[in-house]
Amino acid sequence: MPDYLERTREAWTKMSAEYLEPGRRHWSTDEITWGIWGVPESELGALGDLDLLRGKDVIELGCGTGYVSSWLARRGAKPVGIDPTPAQLANARAFQAEFGIEFPLIEAGAEEVPLPDASFDLAVTEYGASIWADPYLWIPEAARLLRPGGTLVFLRNSPIASICTPNEGVATDRLVRDWFGMNRIEWSSHEPEEFHLTTGPMIRLLRSCGFTVEDLIEVQAPVGAQTRYEYITAEWSRRWPSEEIWRVRKEG
Ligand SMILES: C[S@@+](CC[C@H](N)C(=O)[O-])C[C@H]1O[C@@H](n2cnc3c(N)ncnc32)[C@H](O)[C@@H]1O
């Protein structure tokens, strides 16, 4: 088990109640949106042609309340959600019962998933494995789980947002941490560590796992956007991308 995982799981056990309201809000709609600004998939096109999702095997790596998988299930995909935090899986199970959409949920970290090689056509994560797991562990695992030609789509904070954000503070218009060597960050002693690998090493890692980069979508906050998160403002995210979505394909 990775050294950080127990602490992350404890933190997510405590935070899980706060994710019921956003979880229910997301489960309540059919519209696919991305990230803290809720930008519609119809504008970003991260998943490609949604009609092609029908019948596809999908794994969500760090599914939390499971709403991303629910959106894909409604489009005919066959998702499996994995998450290491039992309390978050309990939330996902409760929403499955409430909304009548069922798919398998497995307790596991994205670094080691108890499923066979080449089982999925699409792997997806929105603020799941993409920031909570070490990319040097979860990206090779995603490559193992995908079939040749399969796609990995992940949303995370942009590295530029991370280098502009001080510990225990809000993003500024200054570079406040080093770019070189950035990956594992402890924002404060009372929060679990996160992973924010910079762009060059991320491309190199993806390529070493057999992925070709198809797109890197820099997400701009819409006019008038609001968020309950305190580490970033809409004003900042109108000027610079606070989030990014990678779409990469496993070579066939
Ligand atoms: C913000 S939620 C993201 C999921 C979903 N988009 C949501 O908002 O409900 C983050 C999830 O990542 C999970 N997580 C933490 N560490 C993980 C790891 N190593 N591998 C996979 N998921 C992890 C947490 O348990 C939590 O449920």
Look at residue 252 in the predicted model and tell me its pLDDT: 87
Look at residue 19 in the predicted model and tell me its pLDDT: 96
Residue 249 alpha carbon to ligand 1 centre in Å: 22
Encoded amino acid at 214, one letter: E
Q: How confident is the model at residue 184 (pLDDT cuts 50, 70, 90)?
A: very high
pTM, two decimals, is: 0.98
Look at residue 190 in the predicted model and tell me its pLDDT: 87
**SS3 readout for 11-29:** HHHHHHHHHHHHHHHHHCC
- Does the structure show a pLDDT above 90 at 189? no
* Of the candidates 126, 152, 129, 168, the residue with the CA atom closest to the CA atom of residue 33: 126
Residue nearest (by alpha carbon) to ligand 1 atom 27: 64
Over the stretch 231-249, which tens digit does the pLDDT of each residue have? 999 999 999 999 999 999 9
DSSP the chain: --TTHHHHHHHHHHHGGGGHHHHHHHHT----EETTTTEEHHHH-TT--GGGGTT-EEEEES-TT-HHHHHHHHTT-EEEEEES-HHHHHHHHHHHHHHT----EEE--TTS-SS-TT-EEEEEEESSHHHHS-HHHHHHHHHHHEEEEEEEEEEEE-HHHHHT--TTS---SS--S-STT--EE-SSTTS--EE---HHHHHHHHHHTTEEEEEEEEEPPPTT---S-SS--HHHHHHS-SEEEEEEEE--
Over the stretch 17-70, which tens digit does the pLDDT of each residue have? 999 999 999 999 999 999 999 999 999 999 999 999 999 999 999 999 999 999
Give the residue, 228 or 151, on which the prediction is more confident: 151
The domains of the chain, with CATH numbers, are 5-157+196-223+242-250 (3.40.50.150)
- Does the structure show a pLDDT above 90 at 125? yes
Ligand 1 test: best mutation among 132, 136, 193, most atoms within 8 Å of CB? 132
Q: How large is the average pLDDT for residues 223-233?
A: 92
Q: What percent of the chain has pLDDT over 90?
A: 95
What is the rounded average pLDDT for all residues in the chain? 97
Is the minimum distance from the CB of 95 to ligand 1 under 6 angstroms?
no
